[in-house]
Amino acid sequence: TQTVSQSDAHVTVFEGDSVELRCNYSYGGSIYLSWYIQHHGHGLQFLLKYYSGNPVVQGVNGFEAEFSKSDSSFHLRKASVHWSDSAVYFCAVSANTGNYKYVFGAGTRLKVIA
């Protein structure tokens, strides 16, 4: 069974700063990894996904994430945040077993101070 951990419940940065949101998973086989964003009062929106190939994947709005098999990680980064990036970010993982179930992390609340 796959598990996912987002170690930081809250992250606060200033507008224009870079940010990294951490995601670690545990599963021995091939795995799908995704990041989603949730603005207050809304459902989740897809940001990006990784399964194979280039370990750095680009997403919407300048977000990128890097997969590391050795660290079992899939951290999300943005070089320069905007106040509108304030939201909760969820990492999700799915083991490539054919049941198509994703396990979501507890989320990291990002606050960007203008």
Partner 1 sequence: GGIITQTPKFLIGQEGQKLTLKCQQNFNHDTMYWYRQDSGKGLRLIYYSITENDLQKGDLSEGYDASREKKSSFSLTVTSAQKNEMAVFLCASSTGGYAEQFFGPGTRLTVL
Contact residues toward partner 1 (CB under 8 A) are 9, 32, 34, 36, 41-46, 49, 51, 90, 94, 96, 99-107
State how far the Cα of 15 lies from the Cα of 105, in Å rounded to an integer: 25
Residue placing its CB nearer to partner 1 in the complex, 40 or 114: 40
Distances (CA, A) of 45 to 18, 21, 30: 21, 16, 24
CB of 70 to partner 1, least distance (A): 23
CB of 71 to partner 1, least distance (A): 21
Residue placing its CB nearer to partner 1 in the complex, 64 or 104: 104
Residue placing its CB nearer to partner 1 in the complex, 14 or 51: 51
Q: What single-letter amino acid sits at 49?
A: K
Residue placing its CB nearer to partner 1 in the complex, 41 or 114: 41
CB of 20 to partner 1, least distance (A): 19
Nearest to 49 by CA among 39, 35, 62: 35
| Sign of the four-CA dihedral 27, 59, 68, 79 | negative
* Burial degree of 112 (CB within 10 A; 0-12, 13-18, 19+): buried
CB of 16 to partner 1, least distance (A): 28
